[in-house]
Chain A
Amino acid sequence: MSLLLVPTGSHFFWHSQEGERSQSGTLSWSEKEVKELFLNYGQNCVGYLLRHGGTVVSRTVSCLNAKLRAKLSGCLQFQPEENSLTLKLVETGQRLVPAAKHLLFCDTAFFKSLPPEACRYAVPKNLWKKGVRRYGSHGLFHHWVWTKAQAGNPEKIKRVVSVRLGDRSSVAAIYQGRCLEVSCGFTAVEGIPSRHACGDLDPTIIFQLQAAGMTFRDINHLFTAESGFAALAGRDCSFGELVTEPSLKQVSSVIRYNILRYIGACLALLNGLDCLVFTTAWPQAGSFIEEIVAGLEFLGRERIYRLAPEEPLDGGKKAVWFPLNRWQVMAAFLPQR
């Protein structure tokens, strides 16, 4: 029996698997419930997702030994809220189920191989030594997409643009397995606006807000908890609502536009593409995806794409392939989480 723990904001998502049987849920921190979770499901193996490995964790999957655990607090400064939740879960898990196998999954490790042009910011070089670089995000996801996209035809599929759609979206350019560019930067805030975070912003703004009397804590909260879809729509809304609610059409077009811009940047770095992959947990995102693809018709897409028979991916998940004349679009609709 295995247990997977994924921090998301101040909550965490859990998933347990035993043979064919699986269960999942969302919890906020509570000593009693967390204890039950570990004791019920975590006796054999526990996996923890670390959102931001900073300069400390550079492998996608590692065994949590004492040495690694001792270093983990070094990640706290990067994405404090979610990383501290992961750390708290690790500490509790190792105390409650010491005999289980503990694995750490790091969501930034895939981007360790980013070329220097992509991972460096154009700030004075002495700041690079202070941990300033592009770390990326959703590395597990983009890595998985690459594997699946080229699996059928490794000879032909070398340039992949992976678009992850959801409450937090990101776009990555992958060439023969190496990530060349990703929209998330030093943190997952950079890039496409997410459900609560602002995405790309003029660097001057933060200083103006600070001068106007906001504390660092206020600004952090503003950019990570009050911005994004919530700020554009004037209320909290999920990606699912965004792509279906007629009243949110303008908000969804801002997000779609941002995604298209990043896809364009990836196209320039890859000199085109062999496969464009959309992955989302929201089955209602179909028309949102189609509109993005329509914006790329100038690349030489046949006017009408035929739906290929659904091809099963891991665990019975289905992908829909759109075969095109020069390049392919694949949309994988995954079950929620």
Chain B
Amino acid sequence: MNILVFNCGSSSLGYKVFEAEKGTCQVLVSGKAHRVGVKGKEPSFIEHRYGQRHTRQETPIATHRQAAGLVFDYLAGEKVHLDAVGHRFVHGGHLFQKSALVTPENFKKLKACLPLAPLHNPTSLSMIEETGRLHPGLGQYVTFDSAFHTTLPEQAYTYAVPETLRKKFSYRKYGFHGLSYTYVTLKAAEFLRRPLKGLKLVACHLGTGGSSVAAIKDGYSVDTSMGFSPLQGLMMSTRCGDIDPMLSLYLMSVFGYRPDALLDKLNRESGLLGVSGISSDLRDIIQSFHGPEGEDAKLSFSMYVQRLKKYVGAYATILQGMDALIFTDDIGVGNHLVREKLCQEMDWCGLFLDEELNRQAKSDAIYRLEKPGSKVAILTIPTDEEYVICREGEKLLSRRQI
């Protein structure tokens, strides 16, 4: 069975065609459309990898829909047969607790989820519409980044606001990056040769956009740092993460900030960018340590690490110790300095990082970074969300055929 998986970024569209058979998923074709909807000097382009062949095409790509059209054109030209298309939805709210086939009824429910993630969900929905328009006969399904965290216990997901509001707006901690957490949980268990049962993991998904931490026990999420929306939790590239709920109220009522402008500030001008004033990219910030803006760069870096450290401590505590600390996504596997600072002075929970191994780790495979004698394994695992989307689809579709 050939499954095409779409993975939308804010200005990119990644795709992979998998050959899925009884639990195994092999990549057949992969590619990515870059600079989708970006106006700038550099042109948009799309690239494809099919076996040994690599093609690159510069062309204006104004929307994700258009990018999807280019992908379908390429696959048709190469005569790649497709059985189904899988999509990633960031926020399924309380309407979706697991992956689902796109039926007319589910499509309506997906539409109802749009306001939950106004930056991400509409793009994903447009991909579903476009796929349906171009290939009406093709089966489609959706997977959800929030689904992994539906196992959170009540004490972890409850906000202490009146029940009427919790019901009316479906307020609770949903959490995100679920596909990535699913992947690293399985990989960690496999790598450590441990059954999921009894395994206590703290996983840090540190991306160039959003970042979060999850506490995972027996393979299930028991707590995570993002909340109702992806704005809560860690300090991120441009998102503020945790702030006092009264802070926004203060800024709006005392200083007259307009709500939409302030929310935009918290989403797009805060985090690493807001504190450093240099860049939203941690690598730029680290490079500025010894420059004229060194103070700001160092402060934003140490804030980033300190907030992460608080969550790791909190989750190690609620799990009553951890078996492994996992780092994934671009910053997680790519930035040794974050790992080094985070793991300093953590002997209280039996965690000892081998600094040399840490520096040498690359981002292409799983690396194990703890010192001998460390009670906690430290792993970097490059994530593969598309793989999880494919596997979910294979499970859904084979069930349907039976």
Q: Interface residues, chain A, CB within 8 Å of chain B?
A: 77-78, 116-118, 120-125, 127, 130-132, 134, 181, 185-187, 189-190, 193, 198-212, 216, 219-220, 222-224, 226-229, 231-232, 234, 250, 253-254, 256-258, 260-273, 295-299
- In the complex, A181 Cα to B311 Cα: how many Å? 13
Q: A296 contacts B231, CB within 8 Å?
A: no
CB neighbours (8 Å) of A262 from chain B are 314
Q: A186 contacts B246, CB within 8 Å?
A: yes
Partner of B240, one of A203, A212, A268: A203
Q: Which of B65-73, B122-130, B183-191, B251-259 contacts A (4 or more CB under 8 A)?
A: B251-259
- In the complex, A234 Cα to B349 Cα: how many Å? 38
What 10 pairs across the A-B complex have the smallest Cβ distances?
A: A268-B313, A264-B317, A272-B348, A193-B160, A202-B227, A265-B310, A186-B244, A190-B244, A264-B314, A185-B244
Q: Which of B232-251 contact A (CB under 8 A)?
A: 232, 235, 240-251
Distance between B345 CB and nearest chain A CB, rounded to angstroms = 4
Q: A190 contacts B245, CB within 8 Å?
A: yes
- In the complex, A228 Cα to B161 Cα: how many Å? 6
Distance between A336 CB and nearest chain B CB, rounded to angstroms = 24
- In the complex, A277 Cα to B276 Cα: how many Å? 37
Q: Which of B9-17, B299-307, B327-335 contacts A (4 or more CB under 8 A)?
A: B299-307
Q: A117 contacts B159, CB within 8 Å?
A: no
Q: A231 contacts B227, CB within 8 Å?
A: no
CB neighbours (8 Å) of B365 from chain A are none
Q: B227 contacts A189, CB within 8 Å?
A: no
- In the complex, A185 Cα to B308 Cα: how many Å? 17
Q: A231 contacts B163, CB within 8 Å?
A: yes
Q: A222 contacts B161, CB within 8 Å?
A: yes
Q: Which residue of B lies closest to A127 (CB)?
A: B251
CB neighbours (8 Å) of A298 from chain B are 320-321
Partner of A207, one of B246, B263, B272: B263
Distance between B282 CB and nearest chain A CB, rounded to angstroms = 13
Distance between B117 CB and nearest chain A CB, rounded to angstroms = 10
Distance between A330 CB and nearest chain B CB, rounded to angstroms = 19
Partner of B275, one of A120, A190, A268: A120
Taking A202-B228, A271-B347 as contacts, is the C-beta distance between A265 and B246 under 8 angstroms?
A: no
For the side of the interface on B, what is the size category?
A: 35 or more
Q: B348 contacts A271, CB within 8 Å?
A: yes
Q: Which residue of B lies closest to A207 (CB)?
A: B263
Q: Which of B49-64 contact A (CB under 8 A)?
A: none
Distance between B281 CB and nearest chain A CB, rounded to angstroms = 15
Partner of B274, one of A117, A118, A122, A266: A122
Distance between B46 CB and nearest chain A CB, rounded to angstroms = 33
**Residue B371 CB within 8 A of the other chain:** no
Q: A122 contacts B241, CB within 8 Å?
A: yes
Which of B244, B310, B317, B347 is packed against the most chain A CB atoms within 10 Å? B244
Could you show 20 A-B contacts with beta carbons less than 8 Å apart? Answer: A122-B235, A122-B270, A123-B270, A130-B254, A134-B244, A198-B245, A202-B231, A203-B266, A204-B229, A205-B228, A207-B248, A207-B259, A210-B259, A219-B249, A227-B162, A257-B155, A265-B311, A269-B309, A295-B318, A298-B321
Q: A120 contacts B277, CB within 8 Å?
A: no
Partner of B171, one of A130, A181, A205: A205
Distance between B9 CB and nearest chain A CB, rounded to angstroms = 21
**Residue B95 CB within 8 A of the other chain:** no
**Residue B156 CB within 8 A of the other chain:** yes
Q: Which residue of A lies closest to B166 (CB)?
A: A231
Which of B154, B228, B251, B306 is packed against the most chain A CB atoms within 10 Å? B306
Q: A295 contacts B320, CB within 8 Å?
A: yes
Q: Which residue of B lies closest to A219 (CB)?
A: B249
